[in-house]
Amino acid sequence: MRIRIQNLNKIYKNGNQALKDVNLDIGNGMFGLLGPNGAGKSTLMRILVTLMKPSSGSVTVNDWDLQKNRRHIRKLLGYLPQEFRFFSKLKTWEFLDYSAGLAGIRNRKVRSRQVDEMLDQVGLFEVRERMANKLSGGMKRRLGIAQALIGEPKIVVVDEPTTGLDPEERIKFRNLLSDMSQKNIIIILSTHIVADISSTCKSMALLNEGEVVFYGPPERLIDVAKDHVFLIQATMGDFETIKERFPVISTIPSEEGWEVQVVADKIDGFRAERIYPSLEHAYVYFMEYQQDRVVY
Ligand code: ADP
């Protein structure tokens, strides 16, 4: 599977330009789409799942044009939208059975087997008789991903899947997606949470104000921030000045005061050592200092 996005623009009726000349090439595996709120991620996701038309530009899936082959491409798609709601009157298994029907699995026996397998895979088999709207927040999200994955889609799009989840559920969710991404399918994960873009994302894009400002493997983004992340040994008195001068990533109390991690082009006037960036450091560095630069 291969998705090619070329010169994609979206201008809403009120004049908001949500996407500006977006170009991306997405192959099998997990693809991370990262960006702050309002960057245009949901707009891009909605175009990809054919719920919205772009103002200009094109998307092709393998060699099919998305606009001209909507019906065909829809059959290949699984989608977990940001705002995902259940019908109130269905049990967990019934909801998934209904989704399986929508995904085109007509044979009742086959459907029932696939529903059970999927419930097991997402860890909901035990609660299959519970009403779907009575599940916990984390369970609802897992049921959401189950309905996106049922029927063996070739492209799965998940929009901000971990919003509102506690850390344990978030890790569970991430592992589930990463297991699925081994199956020769495309999983596109859109998020504003850097930690969601785990090492399993082979490739990622950073979207800001509708533009792709970075596109490539996560390690390349980290590479851009190399030499720009510092650990400062700060006294109590220094802390306010540091906060004013640099974006602070974390602060840990130390014997003398604080150990403060910051991103900066250079540090003077403080006792500081360079440290190797994490993806989160790299993201903050890029957003603070590299806005005018596009890295492909
Ligand atoms: P994200 O998913 O990254 O938070 P969105 O795609 O939701 O970003 O939004 C991108 C931009 O488009 C924002 O400025 C948002 O206000 C605007 N926008 C989103 N939906 C609409 C709409 N239906 N009409 C007008 N503007 C919109």
124 C-beta neighbours (distance < 10 Å), count: 21
Which residue has the least CA distance to atom 12 on ligand 1?
A: 18
The best mutation among 16, 19, 46, 287 to test binding of ligand 1, ranked by most ligand atoms within 8 Å of the C-beta, falls on: 16
Domain end residue (candidates: 180, 201, 216):
216
Low-confidence residues of the chain: pLDDT under 50: none
Same structural domain for residues 163 and 58? yes
Same structural domain for residues 194 and 283? no
The predicted structure's pLDDT at residue 240: 87
Cβ of 149 below 6 Å from ligand 1: no
Q: Is 277 a domain residue?
A: yes
Ligand 1: centre distance to CA 208 (Å): 12
List, as own/partner pairs, every contact residues 131-135 make where C-beta atoms lie below 8 angstroms and the sequence separation is at least 24, other chains included. 131/88, 131/89, 131/90, 131/91, 131/92, 132/86, 132/87, 132/90, 132/91, 132/92, 132/94, 132/95, 133/86, 133/88, 135/92
Cβ of 39 below 6 Å from ligand 1: yes
Same structural domain for residues 69 and 12? yes
The predicted structure's pLDDT at residue 205: 96
The predicted structure's pLDDT at residue 129: 97
Query: What does DSSP assign to residue 5?
Result: E
Q: Is 160 a domain residue?
A: yes
The best mutation among 8, 9, 11, 12 to test binding of ligand 1, ranked by most ligand atoms within 8 Å of the C-beta, falls on: 12
Same structural domain for residues 190 and 229? no
The predicted structure's pLDDT at residue 290: 75
Handedness of CA 183, 35, 140, 3 (dihedral sign): negative
For residues 51 and 3, what is the distance between their CA atoms, to the nearest angstrom? 17
Which residue has the least CA distance to atom 22 on ligand 1?
A: 12
Q: Is 90 a domain residue?
A: no
Same structural domain for residues 199 and 253? no
| Closest ligand 1 atom number to CA of residue 160 | 2
Ligand 1: centre distance to CA 17 (Å): 8
Which residue has the least CA distance to atom 24 on ligand 1?
A: 12
Q: Is 104 a domain residue?
A: no
Cβ of 15 below 6 Å from ligand 1: no
Q: What is the total count of domains within the chain?
A: 2
Q: Is 91 a domain residue?
A: no
Cβ contacts of residue 239 below 8 Å, gap of 6+?
Answer: 251, 257, 258, 260
For residues 288 and 110, what is the distance between their CA atoms, to the nearest angstrom? 52
Domain end residue (candidates: 170, 192, 216):
216
Give, in order, the Cα–Cα distances in Å from 103 to each of 66, 92, 107, 142, 149: 19, 17, 12, 17, 9
pLDDT digits (tens, 9 = 90+) for 139-198: 898 899 899 999 999 999 999 888 777 888 888 888 888 888 888 899 999 998 888 886
Q: What pairs with residue 287 in β-bridges?
A: none
C-beta separation of 157 from 45 below 8 A: yes
Domain end residue (candidates: 166, 181, 216):
216
Cβ of 35 below 6 Å from ligand 1: yes
For residues 53 and 46, what is the distance between their CA atoms, to the nearest angstrom? 8
Same structural domain for residues 212 and 239? no
**pTM for this one?**
0.90
Ligand 1: centre distance to CA 160 (Å): 14
Q: Is 68 a domain residue?
A: yes
The predicted structure's pLDDT at residue 293: 65
Which residue has the least CA distance to atom 5 on ligand 1?
A: 40
Cβ of 40 below 6 Å from ligand 1: yes
Same structural domain for residues 255 and 281? yes
Cβ contacts of residue 3 below 8 Å, gap of 6+?
Answer: 24, 25, 26, 48, 59, 60, 61, 155, 186
C-beta separation of 221 from 204 below 8 A: yes
Ligand 1: centre distance to CA 10 (Å): 10
Q: Is 273 a domain residue?
A: yes
Residue 64 structural domain:
2-76+154-216
Ligand 1: centre distance to CA 43 (Å): 6
Ligand 1: centre distance to CA 19 (Å): 9
Same structural domain for residues 198 and 233? no
The predicted structure's pLDDT at residue 291: 66
Q: Is 112 a domain residue?
A: no
The best mutation among 43, 45, 191 to test binding of ligand 1, ranked by most ligand atoms within 8 Å of the C-beta, falls on: 43
> CATH number of the domain that 6 lies in?
3.40.50.300
Same structural domain for residues 284 and 168? no
